[in-house]
Amino acid sequence: MTFENKLQFDFATTQEVIRRIGLIDAFRGKWGAIEQKNNRYLRELRRVATIESIGSSTRIEGAILTNDEVEKLVRNVKITEFKTRDEQEVFGYYEALDLILDHAKEIDLSEAYVKQLHGILLRYSNKDQRHRGGYKTLSNQVVANYPDGSQRVIFNTTAPHLTEAEMYEMVNWVRVALENGKIHPLLVIGLFIYEFLSIHPFQDGNGRLSRLMTTLLLLKMGYDFAQYVSFENIIEQRKVDYYRGLMAGQQYRSTDKEVIGEWMVFFLDCLLTLTSRLESKYALYKDKGGYLNERQQQVLAVLQDHQPVKISDLAILLPDVSINTLKKDLQYMVQQGILERLGELKATVYLVKSN
C-alpha cells in the first residue's frame, strides 16, 4: 500500500482533518506576529517547555524523574557523574532537543541525520553504547510502560533485515513530499511519525526519537510555536489515546486496509491542544504582564508554570536574579494585582491572581 493511500480517509474523517488543520494554520499565522515581540518572555516559555518535554518524553518510556528533578539535572550536570540510567537518558534528550531548537531550519531530513540524532540521544546511556546510531539487528516490539512497572505489547514492528529498505523508502518519500508541497505538511509529518514507530528502526530509543523528530519537522515547516509548549507533555497525558491511534492503523500493517485516519486525528488534536495552551499562556501574560519589564515578565512566566512557588523556589529556577530583586519584583506584582501572596514568613507562596 502506498503512503498516499494511507492518507485516503473516509468522508467524516476527512472533514475532521480539514477542520483541525485550518485551526492550526490560523493559529500559526497569528502567532507569527506575536513572536516578533516579547523575546524574553518567549525565551522563558521555551525554557519551561524544554524541561517539560524532556521529563514527559523520558517518563513515557519508563523513567521516573519529575520536571523539577530534570531541571536541576540539566542546570547542574557534571557529565561524569550520572547516578542512574534515567539521568543518562534525560541529558541525552536534552542535548538532542537543544540542537533541534537551535538549528531546525538548517537540518536536512535524511537517514544519516536520523542516525546522528539517535547517537546524540543515547550518547550517555551506558547500556546503549553498542547500537546507538545504527539500525536494529534484533527484532523489537512497541511496548507500553505503565507506572506500576507493568508492560503491554502494542504491536510488532518491521523485521531487522527489512528495516534499512523501509527507512530509505519512507524518509525519501517524506523529504520529497515536504519539498513539493502537494500534500499538507501536517499530514506528511503525522505519517512520518506513524511509519517511524511502525518500523521501529533502532534497538532502543525509538519513542523518544519519534518525538524529537516531530519537533524538528514542525519547526522546519514553519510551525515555530511548537517550541514554546511541550508536545511531549500532551502525549504523556494522552498515552492511552496515543497507543490506540497507532494500533488502529498498525493492526492492518502491509494490507490495503492500513489507513491512518484515527492516528492522524489524534496527532492533529494534540497540536490543537498545544495551540490552546499557548494561547492561554499568552493571553494571561498580555492581560497581567504587558506593562512589566523583561525580568518581571520572566518571573511571571516561571510562576505560571510552577505555581504556587516560594521565593526559594524562584531563586533556584532563576539563578541569575538575586533574592533581593526577586522580593522587590514579587512585592510590585502583588501591589499591581497580578499576583496573590498566601501564607506567612518562610511558608509564603505566590500565585498568579485569577480574574
CATH 1.10.10.10 boundaries in the chain: 291-352
* Model pLDDT for residues 235-285, shown as the tens digit of each residue: 989 988 998 999 999 999 989 999 999 999 999 999 999 999 998 877 776
**Helix, strand and coil in the chain, % to nearest 5:** 65, 5, 25
CB 61 within 8 A of CB 208: yes
Query: How much is the pLDDT for 286?
Result: 67
What CA–CA distance (Å, rounded) separates 83 from 108?
Answer: 35
* Model pLDDT for residues 216-232, shown as the tens digit of each residue: 999 999 999 999 988 88
Residue 198 assigned ligand-binding role:
no
> Which CATH architecture does the domain made up of 3-285 adopt?
Orthogonal Bundle (1.10)
CATH 1.10.3290.10 boundaries in the chain: 3-285
What CA–CA distance (Å, rounded) separates 272 from 186?
Answer: 12
| Predicted confidence pLDDT, tens digits, the chain (355 residues) | 899 999 999 999 999 999 999 999 999 999 988 877 666 677 777 887 888 888 888 787 777 778 877 777 777 665 556 777 788 888 888 899 999 999 999 999 999 999 999 999 999 888 888 888 999 999 987 777 776 777 777 778 999 999 999 999 999 999 999 999 999 999 999 999 999 999 999 999 999 999 999 999 999 999 999 999 888 889 989 988 998 999 999 999 989 999 999 999 999 999 999 999 998 877 776 666 556 787 888 888 888 888 899 999 898 888 888 999 999 999 988 888 889 999 888 889 999 887 6
> Would the pTM count as exceeding 0.85?
no
> Which CATH architecture does the domain made up of 291-352 adopt?
Orthogonal Bundle (1.10)
Residue 210 assigned ligand-binding role:
yes
Query: How much is the pLDDT for 26?
Result: 96
Q: Determine the residue type at 74.
A: V
Active-site amino acid positions: 200
Q: What is the largest CA-CA distance in the chain?
A: 67
CB 339 within 8 A of CB 353: yes
Q: Is the dihedral of CA 243, 248, 252, 253 positive or negative?
A: negative
| Chain centre distance of CA 246 | 18
Name 82's Cβ contacts closer than 8 Å, sequence gap at least 6: 88, 91, 124
Name 176's Cβ contacts closer than 8 Å, sequence gap at least 6: none
Residue 150 assigned ligand-binding role:
no
The DSSP string of 97-123 is HHHHHHHGGGPPP-HHHHHHHHHHHTT
Residue 206 assigned ligand-binding role:
yes
Distances (CA, A) of 289 to 77, 306, 318, 322: 32, 17, 18, 20
